[in-house]
Structure 1
Amino acid sequence: MDPTIDSCTSKNHAPETISMDSSEQMIPPNKLLDKTNKIDIDKTKLTTNSSTSLTAQNSALLPGQVARVNLQQKPANSLANSSSSATGNPRNKTALAPGHSLMDWIRLGSSGVDLTGFKGVPQSITLKELAKHNQRNDAWIAIRGVVYNITRYMDFHPGGVPELMKGVGTDATKMFDDVHAWVNYQSILQKCVIGQLCRSKINEIIPNLNCKNSILSKILPTARGSTVEKIPKPLSSVLEIKTDWKQTTNSISFWYKPTPEQYSLTFRLICHSMTEFVINIHLPNGSIRHEYEMINKIQWPPQYRKSFDTMQLEFCFKKEDKKLWNSYGSRIVGTEKKEIGRIYRDWKVVSNKTLCESVNFLVLKADQYMEIIPVGRHVEVKINVSGTEVSRSYTPVPASFESNDESQQPSSDCICLIVKSYPDGALSPSLTSLQPGNYVTLSNCLGTFVIESFDEYKIVNMLAAGTGLTPMLGIIHRALARRNVSSINLLNFNREKKDIFYEEQLNNICLDTRVKVIHVLSQPKEPWEGKRGLVTENLIKEIIGVGSKQACVFTCGPVGFLSVTKGFLKNLGWNSSQMHEFNG
C-alpha cells in the first residue's frame, strides 16, 4: 500500500497541533465546558511550581503578533504563497522516538525543567550572541524578534533535526514564514523563550534590558468578546473602496465595489445595536472602517450576496418598520494603513453532524459578528491542553452545499468547518465531540492565497486526497458562479467507500453539467465499480489531460500525494503558474 494514498484517509490536511505534524492525545469529551468555563484540559494533572509560573513572565516578551491569548478568561473574545493551509495534517516528516510526541513535550514544559537556560530571567540577545548558539546541543533561534532556546525541542520536532538546524543561530523569521507560517510556534515554544532579539552593536547578553525600537505590542480590545494583535506595517497607497446603497420598503442594502486590484478582501461586521453596526474591510494595503448609524431599526444578521464576476458584494438588512426612509442615516469612515493581526473570538456551536466515519460538519456562530472569508483562506481553532494552547487551521466550507432549500441553510453569520477526528488527537476528538451550545475559540481569516489570480482560466481541475477535498468545495462553489468557467473536474482519492465524505452533496453538485467528479479508491473492501488504485500520471492524463493554456489545477492532500502529483503534472506539461497546492 502506497503511503501517499493510505495517509490521505488516516490523516487530515491542516496543522492539527501546535507543532506541525505532531502526534496527539485524546481530550475526553466530558472536559468540554460551557460558555462560562472555557475548554481547559489538564490531562496530565501536573503540579504547578515556580518554574511553570515563568510562562507568564515569558509571555510578556512575545510581540503583539505572537502574544498568547488566555482562553481561561471570560469574556475572551499562516500563510501561503505557492501553497497554503487547507484543513491541516499532523503528519510527521520523520519518525519520532518513543516519548517524544506533542503531549510528551507539553508534559516536559510543565514539569518544572528550565528549558531556557536562564531560569526564566528575560534576556536581550544581540545577533552576534545569537550566532554563537548554532550547534545541535546548543541551539538558539529567533522568530519575529523573540529568541528561543530550542536545544531540548530538537528531538520533538516532527520535521526532523536537520530542518531546525537550518535556522539555528540566526533570525529565522523569513525561513519560518516560507515553510510554516501557520504554525502556532509561540505556544509550543513558550517555555523556551530566552528574551528579545536586540539588533544593536552590543555583543553581550544584557539581562532585563528592553531594546530600543523593540517595544512590545499590546493586545488591544476590539468588539465585545474579542482580542486583537496588531502588526504595524507602514504603507503609502490610498485606502478607499467604492460604495453605494439602495432600499425597498422591506430592506436596505449596502454595496461594496472593489477595484480589480482589490482582490480577496475580507469583510468583518460587528453589530452594536439595532441601529448601529460596523463594517471593516481589509484590503491588501490596510483596512477601512465604516461605522453606520441607521435612522431606524434593522435586523441582524444581514444577508450577503457576492458576484464572482464583478466582485461586487451586497449586505442586505431587513427593516423593522417596513417603510421607505428619507436616508439611511450617517456613516463615519476611518482608515488604517496596518496589516491586521490575529483576532480571536468565541464561536457557539449551532450544529454538529457526522458526514462519515470520523468526519464531522460543524456550524459555528459568533455573537453579533460575521466575517466574509475569501476562498482558500483558513481560520485557526484553539483549545487549552495542560496549560498549553493547542491549535489547528481549518478551511471554512460553503454553507450552501448543505441543502438546496435556502431556509434550511445556516444563517449568513455562521462559519462551517469539516473536521476529521483522530483517536489520539490533541484537538480533533474534542472538536468533533462538541455539542450545540458549546463554545470554541477561532481566529479571524488567515492566509494569503488569492483565488482571483486564476480567474483567467476557463477549466478548473482539482486533485484531492482524503480531507484534501475541503478547500476544493469553496473553489467549486465559486467556479459555478462564474460565467466564464466551462468545465470543473475533480479527482477525489480515498481508501475505502466509507471514507468518502460529502458524497451526497457532490452528487448534487454534479447536476450542473459543467461538473465532473471521479472517485478513486485505493483499497475498496466492498464491490466498487469506480476507479481504483493510486494516483498515476496516466490517470491524471485521462481525466484532466495535458497542460492547457485555458486550464488550472489545484491539489490538496498529504505530503507524499502532493509530491508525486506535482511531478506527474509537470511531466504532462502543466506550468507552475497554472498550479496551486494547499498543504499543511
Structure 2
Amino acid sequence: MNNLSVTGTNGGLFAKPTIGRSEYGRVKVALAPGKGFMDWLRLTANKHLAKRITGGVDHDELMKHYTKEDCWVHLFGTVYDVTKYLDFHPGGIPELLRAGGRDATPLFNQYHAWVNYESFLKACVVGPFIGDLSKLPPPLSPTTSDDTNKLGVPSSLGSDYFDGGFGSRVETLEHGISIENDEWTGLSEPNVIVSLTPVSVKTSINTRGEENSEEHARLRVLIHHFWQSAMEFEFESTQRLTQQKYELIVKKNRVEIRFPALENLEDVLNREKCKIRRRPGSSYHSTKIIDLFRLNHDTLVFSLELPEYTTYRIPLGYHVGVKVRKGKGNLYRPYTPISNPTPHRIDLMIKIYPDGICTPSLEKLQIGDDLVISDPIGDKDFTGWTENSSQLILLSAGSGITPMIDLLERRIQKASNSEVYMLMFNKTEEDIQTVTPDGKTWKLGEIWKTFEGDEKIVLRNVLSAPKAEESEYQLHGRITPELLKTIIPTSSESRRAFICGPDGFIVAAKNALDSLNISSDHVHIFKG
C-alpha cells in the first residue's frame, strides 16, 4: 500500500509529505515497496507501456485523459501516458495529476528540469502533440500544503520566509557581517555561495520625465549545508558595496564576509536589512565561455568563468541547471560541472544530440558568449564515501562520466594508497573521453596518462562495439557480473560504489554490484 495520506480541502487534494524534501526542497512522499526508482527502471526496460497513436494527439484528445485511471500529459511536444508511473512519482500521485490532460512542461521546468525525461518516460510515449497548446488549461494548483521550491523561478518567489530567521544570528562586524546558526555543523567553503550582484536603482525623474539611476550592489549568501534545507540571506542593495572586494571566512557553524576597504557598515549590513529564506528558489549566475573545445566526435567541453564578485564552489557530486534559450522561452537542463584547476572557473562536458531539444543550441555557442547556470543542486555529502572507503567503485556509461571525474580526483588526493576502480563504458573508440586534445587541458585525460597501469588506481575503458582489438586497458563487452569480477577483487572491508548512465545501464550495473555482495545502502545512483 502506498504510504500516502490524502484528504480533501476545499475540493482539492493535499498530499501529506512523509519523507521530507528533494534537493530543491520539493516535497516528497513515502513510496510503497516495489515503487522506487530502480523498480521503475526494471519495469520499463525494453518495454512499451502506452498505446501509441502514430498520427499524433491534439488538445481535445489530450484533455480527455486526466484521472488516476487514465492520465496523459504533454511534455516538450510529446504526449505521455503516465498512468502506470503515478505510483512511482516521488512527489505523490496528486502532484502528478496536476498536469493530467494538460501541458506539464511548466511544472517540469520548475521541479524536475535536471531529469532526463526522454529516457525516463520512453516507455510511456503515446505520440507527438499536434494540437494547440494555448487551448489547454493550465496545471492545477499545488496539492501539498507547504509546496515551495521551484527551479527556474527567482529566489524571491516560492520559499519559506520567517522574520525570526530560523535560528540564524546576523551580526555586524567592523568590516562586514557574520551569519551563524547552531544547526550548522562542520561547514566548509563548498557549502557557501556568495554573490555581490550589480543593481541599477532609480533615484529620481527630471522635469523631462527622464529617469536617473545609480549603481548599487546586492549581497546574497547561500548556505547549502549537507543533509539540511538551504538557507538564503539577502541584504538590501547599497551603493557602498559596489565593486568591493571581500574575504570569505567559513567556520564550523559560522560564515563571515569581510570588506577590508570598508568600515562602519552597521547602516547597510544588519539584521533589519537582511531577508532570510529557507529552501529558496534557485538563483542563476551569468558565466562567460572562455574556452571551448571538442573532446570527441559528439562531446564538447566548455570552460566557464564566474562573475568577478561571486564565490561559487561545487560540492562533490552536485549538479547545476543550465538555462538554454529556446525560441521565445527558456529550457533548463542538468549538467554536472567538473572543477577547473584555475580559480573562479568550472568546466562542463556536454554530449551533443543533433535531434535533441537543448544541445543543438548549446553547440552554437562560441568563446565569449554567456551561459547561465544555477546554484549548485544537491544535499548529500559524498566526502566520507570517497575518502574513507577501502574500495571505491565508479561505474559510468557515456556522459555519465561527469560526476565521476571529481570523485576520482578527490580519491587520488586524499586516499591514493587505497583501491579505486573506475570503469568507463562506451560504444566505440570514437566515444572515449580519456584522450586530451592537442593544446588543451583536460583533467580526465591527465589522470589517465598519469595512472594508466597503476595497480591501486585502476582505470579501464570498456567498449561494446569496438573497431580495434582488445588491450589490457581497453576492454570489450558490456557491464556484467563476470566482467566486474575479473577486474575488482573480493574485499571484506568497506566498499562504496557510484553509478551514472542511461536507465538500462543503471539496472545492469546495480545487478552486477549485487553479485559482488555490495549492499544497496553502499551504492549511490546519480539519476539522469
Instruction: Report the TM-score when normalising by structure 1.
Output: 0.57
- 1:444 is matched with which residue: 366, 370, 375? 375
Q: CA deviation at 1:421?
A: 0.4
Which residue of the other structure, out of 264, 270, 283, is the alignment partner of 2:195? 270
One of 287, 300, 305 as aligned partner of 1:360: 300
| Whole-Å separation in 1 of the counterparts to 2:422 and 2:150 | 45
Q: Please list, as runs of the form range in 1=range in 2, the aligned pairs for 1:91-490 lying within 5 A after superposition.
A: 94=48, 113=59, 133-136=67-70, 139=71, 150=72, 156-157=78-79, 162-163=84-85, 170-172=93-95, 182-183=114-115, 192-194=136-138, 196-197=140-141, 228-232=156-160, 238-239=167-168, 260=185, 266-272=191-197, 277-283=219-225, 284-287=228-231, 289=233, 332=270, 334=274, 336=276, 338-367=278-307, 368-387=309-328, 389-400=330-341, 409=342, 411-412=343-344, 414-452=345-383, 454=385, 456-482=388-414, 486-490=418-422
2:425 to 493, 501, 504: 493
RMSD over equivalenced CA pairs, Å: 5.5
Distance, in Å, in 2 between the alignment partners of 1:355 and 1:243 is 48
Q: Does 1:552 find its partner at 2:496? A: yes
Deviation (angstroms), 1:260: 4.5
CA distance 1:260–1:356, change in 2 (3 Å): same
Q: CA deviation at 1:344?
A: 3.5
- Look up the match of 1:55: none
Partner Cα distance (1:486, 1:134) in 2: 51
- Change in Cα spacing, 1:272 to 1:522, as seen in structure 2 (3 Å) is closer
Instruction: Tell me: CA distance 1:289–1:494, structure 2 relative to 1, closer, same or farther (3 Å).
Output: same
- CA distance in structure 2 between the partners assigned to 1:391 and 1:190 by the alignment: 21
Letter in 2 for 1:349: I
Instruction: Kindly indicate whether the alpha-carbon contact (under 8 Å) linking 2:300 and 2:351 is maintained by their aligned counterparts in 1.
Output: yes
Contact kept? 1:271, 1:369, Cα under 8 Å? yes
In the alignment, structure 1 residue 533 sits paired with structure 2 residue 462: no
Give % identity: 21
What's the CA shift for 1:540?
Answer: 1.1
Q: 1:220 to 1:534 in 2, by over 3 A?
A: closer
Question: 2:114, 2:335 within 8 Å by CA — same for their partners in 1?
Answer: no
* Cα distance change, pair 563–352 in 1 and its aligned pair in 2 (3 A): same
**Residues 159 and 554 (structure 1), Cα distance of their counterparts in 2 relative to 1, 3 Å cut:** farther
Q: Unaligned 5+ residue runs, structure 1?
A: 1-77, 85-90, 119-129, 140-149, 201-212, 247-251, 401-408
1:435 and 1:462 map into 2 onto residues whose CA distance is 32
Once structures 1 and 2 are overlaid, which stretch shifts more, 150-159 or 371-380?
150-159
Q: 2:23·2:379 contact (CA, 8 Å) conserved in 1? A: yes
Whether 2:516 is the aligned partner of 1:516: answer no
In the alignment, residue 314 of structure 2 is paired with which amino acid? I
- Residue type at the aligned position of 1:432: E
For 2:405, what is the secondary structure of its paired residue?
Answer: helix
Judge which range, 389-398 or 562-571, deviates more: 389-398
Residue in structure 1 matched with residue 123 of structure 2 by the alignment: none
User: CA-to-partner distance for each residue in 1:47-105, whole Å, 9 max, x for gaps?
Assistant: xxxxxxxxxxxxxxxxxxxxxxxxxxxxxxx7499989xxxxxx99749998879xx88
Q: Aligned partners of 2:170, 2:416: CA distance in 1, in Å?
A: 25
Counterpart amino acid of 1:567?
Answer: N
Moved more, 374-383 or 231-240: 231-240
Indicate the structure whose relative CO is greater, using CA pairs within 8 Å and at least 6 residues apart: 1
Match of 1:578 in 2: 522
CA deviations over 1:162-193 (Å, ceiling 9, x no partner): 3258779951359999x9684499xx999744
What amino acid does structure 2 have at the position aligned with 1:509?
Answer: I
Alpha-carbon deviations, 1:20-43, whole Å to 9, x = none? xxxxxxxxxxxxxxxxxxxxxxxx
Correspondence for 1:27: none
State the TM-score, normalizing by the size of structure 2. Answer: 0.62
Which runs of 5 or more structure 2 residues have no equivalent in the other structure? 1-21, 29-35, 39-44, 99-106, 118-128, 199-215, 437-442
Distance in 1 (CA, whole Å) between partners of 2:54 and 2:287 is: 33
Q: 1:314 to 1:191 in 2, by over 3 A?
A: farther
Superposed displacement of residue 575, structure 1: 0.5
Shift of 1:462: 0.5
Amino acid in the other structure paired with 2:380: F
